[in-house]
Structure 1
Amino acid sequence: MPRKKDTITLSIPPGTKEKLEEIARSLNITWGKEPSISGLIVAIAEKSLEVGKPFVLDSNQVNALQQAIKALNDAGRIGESQTILTLLLERGNLDASIRQSLLKQASKLVQAWRSQIDEYRQKQQPFYLFYENSQGEELQYTVRYAEPRFFDKRFYLIIWCEETEDVENQIPDLPELWHNRTLIFDRIRLIVPASGEWREGLDDIKVYLHFRGWMVKSYQRREDDLEDEMIGDVRQVVRRVVNELWLIREVARYWENCVIVSPESLRNRLKQKLLSLCNLYDIDIRS
């Protein structure tokens, strides 16, 4: 049954509607392709969106913070330097030239993390990694393997870590992947060496995919593909998968022209996402 929703009527001055739509568009709060004022109001009510003016810094304050960033970076305290940079970029009222300068510094800090991790990889040196996720939670991982990978127009760091508690409830049916994490470089806060052995690689599962229709000829082989053969009018690809979310995102792009055949655990995860999507759009699915 359709979900009940509260409705309100707003009396606003001329031109306000367009301003609200522009704010929603800038925050990527949309309904379909159009900006959603309702979504904007909900985000404010749920406190997932902060309102109000950003703090204002004068030139002396900006200069002092830039000097602090440089000093922390020179001392090897890259995570703390990154924190100040992020604060300035997200909350500071900066002019265009200063913002561009800080963005360049942020890029250099990310490269510093990559260089340090590459050095540990070459030495096969385990390390502790301190990380802040998208929800502001601070996490610590004991890393015994790491490799950068390019996906969806950006580089990520994939690690094998000893800790599993933070994902056991998220993917309870995929224990084979509990030790793998996919991290964003600019959310790394600190890296320090650890003792113990370096691993040979990441954990993985073998996934069978069936491509149909136009994807039979359009699909391009991936580095992790183990097998690729035609079975009747279906192209069967067997792939080594280290991150289930990436695979689901890929399959979702192709709709009915790509099907996860096995394992059943991953197939069921996609089923649950499709059922949740139907519920959000008030589509009645009867078993």
Structure 2
Amino acid sequence: MNRKKETITLSITSGTKEKLEEIAQKLGIFWGKSPSVSGLLVAIAQQEFEVGEPFTLNSTQVAALQQAIGLLKDSGFIEQAQTISSLLLERGQLEPPIRHSLLQQVSQSTEAWRILTDQFRQNQQPFHLLYGNPQMGDLSFTVRYAEVTFEEKRFYLNIWCDETEDIANTDFPELKHNRCLRLDRIKGVVPINGQWRHEGLDYLKVYLHFYKGLIKSYEPKPSDISNEIIGEVRQVVRRVSNPFWLIREVLRYGDDCVIVTPHNVRSLLQEKLLTLCQLYDIETRS
């Protein structure tokens, strides 16, 4: 049985029919070999296509999706990151520098260095890594161990490497083989022969004391060696491969947390606090 059809009459201005036919042709709606205005109207009624103002992304939405792209890339989801990049290029209100950057990302191969790095880590395969340092230019590292960690707002690649020449002065000679690298600054990785370092990263054993509400609310971390309440203090002993992140964490706790030992880590926080006092015109005892 043929479906019953209805006929409508449209009063349209000159040239409108041709514009409708152009839209129908663009959308692939034809009657025989000719664009079909009737078919276009049916498709719109069935909500197969958008009408009205085109869907676009404002600056806030663009910024949020850019952050999501970075997290997806860092996590190894390269194809998903490229899909969102394509959406931004199609629908986002983008400044020229952002558009250029996204075009470069979309054109990159899905077999990116992030996937290769994961393969090397899983196979315990040493590799060379080329890294773009904003202050020192390109650096090359011979990586014997690597792990990915999430610090604050992004993922980082932590490595143990042979090279130590780029460390001019350090308060932590025990950690001179460790590096914490931003994933978006890595330019390439190449496998090499050699031994994988099964001991992992070098680390310091740091003693922390937590007070007040943190005695009960402290959330243990995978790097904690021990965690116990002693009187009115929670004492945590932690493996620390990069004191930079520990200092930032302790500063957030304020006077609810103290670094007890070792002295070089405790001194680093003391220097940071003295600098803050100077910036805020707070007098300190000499």
Say yes or no: does 1:156 pair with 2:175.
no
Distance in 1 between the 2:148 and 2:97 partners? 34
Change (3 A) 1:274 1:115: same
In 1, Cα distance between equivalents of 2:193 and 2:181: 22
Kindly report which structure 2 residues correspond to 1:68-87, keeping only aligned pairs within 5 A, or say none. Answer: none
Secondary structure (helix, strand or coil) at the match of 1:140 reads strand
Displacement after TM superposition at 1:282 (Å) = 2.3
**CA shift digits 1:106-159 (9 cap, x unpaired):** 9x7798222101111122211111111233622111111111111113111000
Equivalent in the alignment of 1:183: 181
Aligned residue number for residue 251 of structure 1? 250
Query: Who wins on radius of gyration, i.e. which is larger?
Result: 2
Aligned length: 194
Equivalent position of 2:96 in the other structure: 94
| Residue 147 to residue 110, structure 1, CA distance change in 2 (3 Å) | farther
8 Å contact kept, 1:113–1:185: no
Is the Cα contact below 8 Å between 1:168 and 1:175 reproduced in 2? no
Task: Kindly state the Cα deviation for residue 94 of structure 1 after the two structures are TM-superposed.
Answer: 1.7
Give the distance between the partners of 2:116 and 2:278, measured in 1 at CA.
45
Alignment of 1:137 with 2:142, yes or no, is no
1:199 to 197, 200, 221: 197
Amino acid across the alignment from 1:230: I
- Following superposition, the deviation at residue 241 of structure 1 comes to 0.8
Match of 1:269 in 2: 268
RMSD (Å), alpha carbons: 2.7
Within 5 A, what are the aligned runs for 1:40-51?
Answer: none
CA distance in 2, matches of 1:273, 1:110: 42
1:222 correspondence with 2:224: no
In structure 2, runs of 5+ residues without a counterpart are 1-93
Q: Is the 8 A contact 1:229 1:237 kept in 2?
A: yes
3-state SS in 1 of match to 2:163: coil
- What is the SS of the residue equivalent to 2:112? helix
Rounded to whole Å, the distance in 2 between the matches of 1:276 and 1:167 is 23
Local SS of the residue matching 1:125:
coil
- Select between 253-262 and 270-279 the one with higher mean Cα deviation: 270-279
Identity in percent: 54
Cα drift, residue 162 of structure 1: 0.9
Aligned partners of 2:106, 2:158: CA distance in 1, in Å? 24
Matched, 1:285 2:284: yes
Measured in 2, the distance between the counterparts of 1:105 and 1:207 equals: 44
Match of 2:239 in 1: 240
Structure with the larger RCO, 1 or 2 (CA within 8 Å, 6+ apart): 1
Q: How big is each residue's C-alpha offset from its partner over 1:223-245, in whole Å with a ceiling of 9 and x where there is no partner?
A: 11111101111100111111110
Q: 1:229 to 1:183 in 2, by over 3 A?
A: same
Question: What runs of 5+ residues in structure 1 fail to find an aligned partner?
Answer: 1-91
Structure 1's 110 and 263: CA in aligned 2 closer, same or farther, altered over 3 A? Answer: farther
**Alpha carbons of 1:265 and 1:100: their partners in 2 closer, same or farther (altered >3 Å)?**
closer
SS class of match (1:238): strand
Change (3 A) 1:95 1:153: closer
Change (3 A) 1:229 1:109: farther
Whole-Å Cα distance in 2 between the matches of residues 110 and 254 of structure 1?
A: 41
| Aligned match of 1:62 | none
User: TM-score, normalised to structure 2's length?
Assistant: 0.62
